[in-house]
Amino acid sequence: MARLEILEFPDPRLRTKAQPVEQFDAALGQLIDDMFETMYEAPGIGLAATQVNVHRRLLVMDVSENKGQPLVFINPQILTSDGVEISEEGCLSVPQIFEEVQRAERVRVRAQDRHGKVFEQDLDGLAAVCLQHEMDHLEGKLFVDYLSSLKRDRIRRKLDKSRRAQPLSSSRIPTPVA
Ligand code: ZN
């Protein structure tokens, strides 16, 4: 197992559209294990392959309290979605930034597991939000794209500054990041 480097905004590689996974082999299994390790260490609740500079349609998630429900979605497709949920999101690729984003409240997703087997799953609440956030990564999209360009520029400057200085310390209640 190995921890992978997570790309950070505004790295242009985060804008790459991911290609379908076609080979369900040992290398894919290794990538999935490494992505889980990287996500749990961060710590985060979700990680898309795009964020670790692998441009394949694959994401991992675990939104459970005790970090005991790992989920893998390969070549995911949202079949249906409904409801509206506005919640504060954070992203491992946009550190220390938290903003409200509107998403569907419930989704039904079809994907493949690590062996290539097709399954369907209903998700709601945080899991639904996280899945939509990660699927955006596979399209080269970031949650800050939902904000105004003025706000996005402000975030970019803030991140530049915090990379030069010490990491921001924060006393806020942490929002899960994905
Ligand atoms: Zn993210």
The answer to whether the beta carbons of residues 133 and 178 sit under 8 Å apart is yes
How far does residue 26's CA lie from ligand 1's centre (Å)?
26
* Global confidence as pTM: 0.93
* φ and ψ of 94, to 5 deg: -135, 70
How far does residue 151's CA lie from ligand 1's centre (Å)?
17
How far does residue 99's CA lie from ligand 1's centre (Å)?
12
**pLDDT tens digit sequence for 1-60:** 799 999 999 999 999 999 999 999 999 999 999 999 999 999 999 999 999 999 999 999
